[in-house]
Structure 1
Amino acid sequence: MKKDFNKTIKNVKKNVVEYVLTNRLFISYCILALIATICIRKFTINSVFRIKPLITDLGLILLIGSFGYFVKPKNQFKYYFTWLIIINLACLISSIYYRFFTSFASIGELATVGQTETVTGSIFDRLKIYDFIYIIIPIIFYLIHKKLLSSVYYSFIDKIEKSKKMFIATFCVGIVFVGYSLGVAKNSDYSRLAKQWNRLYIVERFGIIMYQVNDFVQYLTPQISSLFGQEKATELFNDYFNTKEKTKENKYTGVLTGKNIVFVHMESMQSFLMNLSFNGKDVTPNLKKLAKEGMHFTNFYPQVSTGTSSDTEFTLLTGLMPASSGTVFVSYYDRNYFTIPKYLASRGYETFSMHGNLSSMWNRNKAHPSLGYNSMYFGDVFDYTDKDVINLGINDSLFFKEAIPMLENIEKNNTNYMGTVITLSNHSPFKLASMHSNLDLTSHYEVTNDSGITQTLEKDYLSSTSVGEYIKSANYADNALGDFISYIKNSNYFNNTVFVFYGDHDAKLSRNEINYLYNLNPETGGVYKKGDKNYVLYDYYEHELNKKTPLIIWSKNKELQSIFKGEVTYTMGMYNVAATILNMYGIYNKYNVGEDIFTVKDNNLVIYPNGNILTNKVYYNNSTNEYKELTDEKIDKEYLDNIKSIAEKRLDVSNAIIVYNLLENKKMNGE
């Protein structure tokens, strides 16, 4: 028996050696592709040693590679090299993309690259040295090919390779690996695959290749929506809205009837800036003043996906969530939506939008008319030169200065109006706008020498960091905003107008970048670590909660000032704005998923596109199924299950409205 065993081992060893020697190109492809998939998980979600995504990625690599056996050996390099390029390019794009959005890239969003507000400099700012591994891997494969080409490998393999047999064997092994991964998956795993909105979890559980395959399927689904899913989406829609209760009236119902309204969209402006000062100077003194003079919503959270600014515009105007794949402004702009501009236009209001960039950016030249804007004032109507440009268009100071006479002219020629003024300068890369701020970020600290003498020293490490540049950029934007408010106050117009100022989304800085603000060691330029006496906890939850932005309703009209004053502390999302504002006009829109904040109050849920949930009691992380309690009240399973159920229904019905155009034959409900 021992002799038979040794013989078996010897035969296995011989077969393995023979397989390796006769499949060197294929094995090289598999190893290099697998390295790329491991790297993307390491560099993003820091998940390296989980066996399930590893098995799934390897299984799919084998399945893809098995078809290479149908290609003649001398041409197999082209097949495998092409797939290595695709896999590594997907990893590279997702790696950079992750640093902007803490998510993974989608095919539907890559199709909109030309529309995005991310400039080249901003992309290069986010490149890391380890990203080049995705370029090095295909080069290594090419060098292996050249080495094999210089030998007799290809001609030898051409004579002995049994293509069909190798295909079947490799394909079957791949099926076993993928089948195992899917076989041990839970129902919740399949649900997340089907919905695709928890991308981090999908990559962590199934690997990057399965994510990309699933994303491609999700991308194709709406393209054939008339053949697939329409009936189910309609049923979901009817079930949701047939049971939805009409919003009750509250003390703000109708207070804006006959009043004009202008939304001021403040690029990347976060609330924490309002509490910062350096060397006796506030970072955002004008925003702080506005908050004191108007109604300030202190717990307001954007709900953006990868459409960033365009997602905010859409969600604010409609009360719907962003699309689960792609962006509404590019992929679904031609649907019918019930919006603030449309409701007010039906009451005789002139509706308009203003932006210092090209109207083609984010496809606004098509999306804005679809959302109900009658007139658009974009970069081509402003008078400026190249020296007036910061980031993507005219600088905020000049933009506001030139916008004032346009706004006055609109008021002069219309009984009522509603518009959105979109700022631009406080956009990444923040270094460009930061150079126009004279805010001093120098830190002062005391040191005691060996003689016991204490000295006060100063250093400025912060200005050269990402968060330092963001702070100075926001300071510049705030200065421009202050000039705009002065123009408004000194104008003979706008006495019947309310202004709604809102931050469109966070700065998209990583937790490590923001942590530098809270844990900077002014003496060394490093950061305090846990255990240091000056250390400030800034964990995942602190970072997520820190993403809130300002929302302020303000007017120079004394009567309106008496209505819109004080702090509103309810936890509020961007999708609550439409219902809240429309109620102030006495208008009810049934077909949204956000509620009037003054009706729902402390029972509100802020739902994020990735399935995370925020209430006044808890922040729930959908990716890890963990949560942080925000009060002393203990959260039980029943509470979590309830809010998760509500969140899932709202995300599903909102996406169904978008993808399947379910409002096409509905009438606006202006009750």
Structure 2
Amino acid sequence: MNIIMNAYRKSPFWATFILLMVKMALFRQFTFETVQISRLLSDAAAVLVVLCVLELITSSRWKTAVMTAGNAIVSLILFACCVYFSFFGSIPSYTALHGLDQVGQVKESVESAIHVKFYALFADFVVLLGLYLATMVASRNNTDKPKSQPAAKPLYVGIALAVSLAASFLYIRADLDIPNELVKAERLGVLNYQVAIAINERQENSAIKHGSADDTRETLEELEEGFIGEDGVVEAGTPNFFGVAEGRNVIVIQLESFQNLMLGLEVDGQEVTPVLNDLIEQGSFYFPKVFQQIGQGNTSDAEFISNTGIYPTGTIAMSKGYGDREIPSLPRLLGEQGYVSNTFHVNDVTFWDRNILYPALGFTKYYDKPAFVDDEFNGFGASDGEMYRVGLEKLTELHQEGKPFYAQFVTTSSHHPFWVKKEFLNINVPQRLSGTQLGHYVAATNYTDKALGDFIDNLKANGMWDNTILVVYGDHMGLQQKENDPAWVEEVLGVPYHETISRFNIPFLVHVPGVEGKTMKGVGGQVDMMPTVANLMGISLEQEGYTVFGRDLLNTKKNVIGMRYYMPTGSFFNNDVMFVPGKGFEDGTAYDLDTFEQVEDFSMYREDYDYILELMKLSDNYMKLLPKR
């Protein structure tokens, strides 16, 4: 033991290098499920840069302590990235640090993403601690003074630093332009990937330095005209269903972790979402092929995109990165027409900086945790039922005062990990699902549906229903891949299920009392919600000078929507397929949206791929160019 410990003390640089390279290999196995020696060379270059810098700035006396600290920091980074990847399916960039203050609010979700195997990244510290304690005991009777460490050789270390920096630079330059973040991260390794992200961000900011939001709008119009053309819309002239809900109140329900899979589903003869099913049967506008498009902000990003028709950037939660802007939105647009816009969420408004996001979106007032009685439904506090109770009171006051309103409700009762207390259960979960995440999910979504039904009944009782347009959509997926094998989900539910298409497919429906809606078969995304609702409200976004990056789904035949963060940049859905790029388009994969089968020849969708990359780039530029408040 003394021999090993002395060896570590004499050569902390190389000992730490070897340990970190083992951890880099483990990280690759945990995330990418493969370890390529050629890719480890990129990791080696980055690790050498870090260790050489530490070697040069540290005196001999503190070498061992500093190298151990460096090892610990990198190990924590790798551990955090493994947990992050387990939950989100992506490698986090340094910009994810902006969300660290939110971790405590979703503690249960974070804990569920930790695999025991991830702790192997800290195994060396347990061994080193044991060896250290053993050598301390053995050295009590040893009066010999420990030998000093050999003097550092700055010249050799400097040369090694220069070589490793050059190697890292070459690796980064070769893969800098790959849009697919997962491919880029796998090729570069987690450390060089962070540098590449920073370089890309700087290049993008430099490219728009002298641009303007108006210039971006003109470029968008040219892009849309070239891609959509005359065949991409239903017909010229007044859009279909334009103004059928003009002047009505608007209630928007954002359903937490809600997949479209739940709509129409029966479990042992019990409807999971009878309220939503009835709304569709009563003639709502229903869009069964709508997909999530959120970024780092998750639920708060869903609020952003559905209210604006603008893509989240994917590199930072929109509330944290752009809450200082005056963002064009539906609440702001309706506010100009005399509407009062309120938003309701049972959590603390500082969660994901909603206290900044809501003014940026033009909401008149928000109601958060202090406004509700905590019936301890889950970790967020109050139940959806309590949220609707308070919301009904506030909206009734506005109704009695004759003020039109736009009200947004952000539900939380179906939040991961989906545990529902017995007193709130409204469905009998069958034995085959008992104790599983899917079983908890069925119960949670069923409660969310029931609470919405109770709210609708109260709106009718208070005389507000007939003059209100109801918008309902899911914010993002719910079921986690690691706990829900697609074949098993199909077996126990008796419905087709695809691990990606079904998981990211969210509900979107709009109910306008007295208006016969229809089920639309075309594809759509959250970016399309705002322009679709605006059309129903009789608002021409073009005449209002509003720039949106989605389309009115009631008047669109050709549509392509992009997705990133949960999927690599360049991924898209069109009316036929879901496409996921590889290093580029040619090595990507496509799956039929109806059959879930892989499509071998997808060459005809190259234009869609180029279009969506350019569209999301323009959306990012537009957000960055909006003036600050």
TM-score, normalised relative to structure 1: 0.81
After TM superposition, list the pairs within 5 Å mapping 1:299-314 onto structure 2.
299-314=289-304
Q: Secondary structure at the match of 1:421?
A: strand
Q: Would you say how many aligned residue pairs link Structure 1 and Structure 2?
A: 594
Residue 220 of structure 1, CA deviation: 7.6
Q: Secondary structure at the match of 2:469?
A: strand
Paired position in structure 2 for 1:661: 625
Residue 434 of structure 1, CA deviation: 7.6
Cα distance, 1:614–1:435 mapped onto 2, change above 3 Å: farther
- The 10-residue stretch of structure 1 (50-59 or 139-148) with the greater mean CA deviation from structure 2: 139-148
Paired position in structure 2 for 1:56: 42
Q: Secondary structure at the match of 1:191?
A: coil
Paired position in structure 2 for 1:34: 21
Residue 473 of structure 1, CA deviation: 1.3
Partners of 2:606 and 2:338 in 1: CA distance: 45
Residue 173 of structure 1, CA deviation: 4.6
**What do you get for the CA RMSD once the two structures are aligned?**
3.3
- The 10-residue stretch of structure 1 (579-588 or 343-352) with the greater mean CA deviation from structure 2: 579-588
- The 10-residue stretch of structure 1 (427-436 or 402-411) with the greater mean CA deviation from structure 2: 427-436
Q: Secondary structure at the match of 1:394?
A: coil
Paired position in structure 2 for 1:366: 356
Amino acid at match of 1:203: A
Question: Is the counterpart of residue 230 in structure 1 residue 182 in structure 2?
Answer: no
Deviations for 1:382-425, whole angstroms, at most 9, x for unmatched residues? Answer: 2x14x444220211122223322221112222432212111111
Question: Is the counterpart of residue 579 in structure 1 residue 531 in structure 2?
Answer: yes
Deviations for 1:441-467, whole angstroms, at most 9, x for unmatched residues? Answer: 33xxxxxxxxxxxxxxxxx24221122
Paired position in structure 2 for 1:588: 541
Q: Secondary structure at the match of 2:149?
A: helix
Residue 518 of structure 1, CA deviation: 2.2
Query: 1:286 is matched with which residue: 263, 272, 275?
Result: 275
Partners of 2:429 and 2:529 in 1: CA distance: 35
Cα distance, 1:228–1:593 mapped onto 2, change above 3 Å: closer
Q: Secondary structure at the match of 1:134?
A: helix
Aligned 8 A contact 1:52 1:181 in 2: no
Question: Is the counterpart of residue 641 in structure 1 residue 620 in structure 2?
Answer: no
After TM superposition, list the pairs within 5 Å mapping 1:177-326 onto structure 2.
177-178=167-168, 181-182=171-172, 185=174, 189-192=175-178, 198-215=180-197, 229-231=208-210, 237=216, 240-241=219-220, 243=222, 249-293=238-282, 294-326=284-316
Cα distance, 1:64–1:234 mapped onto 2, change above 3 Å: farther
Question: Is the counterpart of residue 617 in structure 1 residue 576 in structure 2?
Answer: yes
Question: Is the counterpart of residue 108 in structure 1 residue 108 in structure 2?
Answer: no
Paired position in structure 2 for 1:120: 107
Q: Secondary structure at the match of 2:27?
A: helix
Cα distance, 1:637–1:285 mapped onto 2, change above 3 Å: closer
Cα distance, 1:664–1:245 mapped onto 2, change above 3 Å: farther
Partners of 2:98 and 2:417 in 1: CA distance: 22
Aligned 8 A contact 2:292 2:505 in 1: yes
Deviations for 1:539-560, whole angstroms, at most 9, x for unmatched residues? Answer: xx643343211111114x32x3
Residue 167 of structure 1, CA deviation: 0.3
Residue 165 of structure 1, CA deviation: 3.0
Cα distance, 1:652–1:228 mapped onto 2, change above 3 Å: closer
Aligned 8 A contact 1:435 1:473 in 2: no
Partners of 2:492 and 2:340 in 1: CA distance: 53
Partners of 1:104 and 1:154 in 2: CA distance: 44
Q: Where in structure 2 are there 5+ consecutive unaligned residues? A: 1-6, 226-232
Cα distance, 1:434–1:463 mapped onto 2, change above 3 Å: farther
Amino acid at match of 1:104: I
Residue 171 of structure 1, CA deviation: 2.1
Q: Secondary structure at the match of 1:546?
A: helix
Q: Secondary structure at the match of 2:611?
A: helix
Cα distance, 1:213–1:173 mapped onto 2, change above 3 Å: same
Residue 99 of structure 1, CA deviation: 2.4
Paired position in structure 2 for 1:332: 322
Cα distance, 1:371–1:24 mapped onto 2, change above 3 Å: same
Cα distance, 1:72–1:283 mapped onto 2, change above 3 Å: same
Amino acid at match of 2:186: E
Residue 566 of structure 1, CA deviation: 2.6
Partners of 2:337 and 2:492 in 1: CA distance: 57
Aligned 8 A contact 2:60 2:149 in 1: yes
Deviations for 1:248-307, whole angstroms, at most 9, x for unmatched residues? Answer: 641122222212211011111111112432222122222211221222111111101221
Partners of 2:153 and 2:135 in 1: CA distance: 19
Aligned 8 A contact 2:261 2:502 in 1: no
Residue 143 of structure 1, CA deviation: 5.5
Partners of 1:154 and 1:56 in 2: CA distance: 37
After TM superposition, list the pairs within 5 Å mapping 1:514-593 onto structure 2.
514-515=485-486, 517-518=488-489, 542-555=499-512, 557-558=513-514, 560=515, 562=516, 565-584=517-536, 585-589=538-542, 590-593=546-549
Query: 2:553 is matched with which residue: 588, 594, 597?
Result: 597
Percent identity over paired residues: 21
After TM superposition, list the pairs within 5 Å mapping 1:440-455 onto structure 2.
440-442=428-430
Paired position in structure 1 for 2:4: none
Partners of 1:639 and 1:235 in 2: CA distance: 32
Aligned 8 A contact 2:184 2:193 in 1: yes
Partners of 2:572 and 2:438 in 1: CA distance: 26
After TM superposition, list the pairs within 5 Å mapping 1:468-487 onto structure 2.
468-487=439-458
Paired position in structure 1 for 2:75: 88
Amino acid at match of 2:164: G
- The 10-residue stretch of structure 1 (121-130 or 512-521) with the greater mean CA deviation from structure 2: 512-521
Partners of 1:143 and 1:240 in 2: CA distance: 63
Query: 2:468 is matched with which residue: 497, 503, 506?
Result: 497
Paired position in structure 2 for 1:451: none
Partners of 1:630 and 1:242 in 2: CA distance: 28
- The 10-residue stretch of structure 1 (162-171 or 544-553) with the greater mean CA deviation from structure 2: 162-171
Amino acid at match of 2:540: I
Partners of 2:166 and 2:146 in 1: CA distance: 29
After TM superposition, list the pairs within 5 Å mapping 1:134-213 onto structure 2.
134-141=121-128, 155-158=147-150, 161-175=151-165, 177-178=167-168, 181-182=171-172, 185=174, 189-192=175-178, 198-213=180-195
Partners of 1:201 and 1:233 in 2: CA distance: 32
Partners of 2:376 and 2:499 in 1: CA distance: 37
Amino acid at match of 1:286: V
- The 10-residue stretch of structure 1 (212-221 or 161-170) with the greater mean CA deviation from structure 2: 212-221
